[in-house]
Structure 1
């Protein structure tokens, strides 16, 4: 019953999102929906996370940009991305900081001019997506790590971000080690809270 209600709610949420915001959700939906349904969290907590992400996606839709990516766990919001328009970057940051319900904001969005030569050294969208997916995949195969309580993402700089909750210090260390253990990973930002 809980899974059915959750899947129905997610279906409504997904159809409310702009088409460009739905792409990644569609690509990762089956695993994401199942994982979130079996997490050791209440449906209310998951609903709060979904409401926050909807608000941020709404901000991106209103601005006509897909330059940012979100991950969230227990209302701790992680945002990554690169903007090439400084005014848009500033407006996006201001609007995201005004979103209610966010307990902690991990802001990893940068401004980098379109003609900046540093852009040539960055990973493209596909490589960034693969880096993040492989990091999450390594968690799935690790004994003693409840991968459903962790979120991973990556950015074009080769940084992998680990967000979530570990049930013990040992589990947190294993998850961090697996996030670091990947080709192309230059750095890992660890935002895991340890709590039984």
Structure 2
């Protein structure tokens, strides 16, 4: 069993991935989890952690982050322009019980810095497209059980892959 975490920068223009991304991919995620090579108990633990992280986001009134999880290894991506909210979210996520490993790829960047770097950042639709392309490549690769892998893309076109090969 091996854990994969891969980041490969690409360049393209600002993505606000988060809740909408999760909503759009939720049905596929639920179906995929049902056919994974894992126990129901393990999948339940993952879902429980994600629900707790989503509760932290709801409590703070934010949708500026997105999660992927596999075997209680939690990957969080996103971008905040409010440092206090960023720190509260980090503290809330770190307080979630049951997380074996936290891969924190959430960025704080002021609105002014985001504006200055907008040419380096993906728009949300471009991030979704890149995420889909990576997923399609996983599906079409012989010997890869794509249901055991999670893909995430951040605003800077870093691609994160977490799961079990």
For normalisation by structure 1, the TM-score amounts to 0.71
Residue in 2 that maps onto 1:171:
none
Distance in 2 between residues matched to 1:106 and 1:36, nearest whole Å: 20
Secondary structure at the counterpart of residue 115 of structure 1: helix
Q: How many residues align?
A: 146
Contact 1:70 1:79 in 2 (8 A): yes
- Higher RCO (CA < 8 A, seq sep 6+): 2
Deviations 1:96-120 (A, max 9, x none): 1110000000000010000111234
| Alignment match of 1:74 (pick from 65, 71, 74) | 71
Q: Secondary structure at the match of 1:102?
A: coil
Q: RMSD across aligned C-alpha pairs, in angstroms?
A: 1.4
Q: CA deviation at 1:129?
A: 1.4
| Residue 101 (str. 1) matches residue 94 (str. 2) | no
Q: Which segments of 5 or more consecutive residues in structure 1 lack a partner in the other structure?
A: 1-19, 167-196
Counterpart position of 2:48? 51
1:142 aligns with: 141
Distance 2:61 2:72 in 1: 24
1:133–1:153 CA contact under 8 A, matched in 2: no
How far does residue 124 in structure 1 lie from its aligned partner after superposition? 1.4
Give the C-alpha shift of residue 158 in structure 1.
0.9
How far does the alpha carbon of each residue in 1:137-182 deviate from its partner, in whole angstroms, 9 at most, with x for none?
110111110101100010010100000001xxxxxxxxxxxxxxxx
Question: In the alignment, what sits opposite 1:121?
Answer: 120
Q: Compute the TM-score of the two structures, normalised by the length of structure 2.
A: 0.84
8 Å CA contact retained: 1:73, 1:164? yes
Q: Structure 1 residues 25, 81: CA separation in 2 closer, same or farther (over 3 Å shift)?
A: closer
Consecutive unaligned residues of structure 2, counting only runs of 5 or more, are 1-17
Larger radius of gyration: 1
Q: Secondary structure at the match of 2:143?
A: coil
* CA apart distance, 1:30: 3.5
From 93, 107, 124, the counterpart of 1:110: 107
Please identify which structure carries the higher helix content.
1
What is the CA–CA distance in structure 1 between the aligned matches of 2:45 and 2:22, rounded to whole Å? 18
Question: Could you tell me how far 1:126 is from its partner in structure 2?
Answer: 1.4
Take 1:34 and 1:81, find their aligned partners in 2: how far apart are those partners? 25
1:175-190 correspondence to structure 2 within 5 Å? none
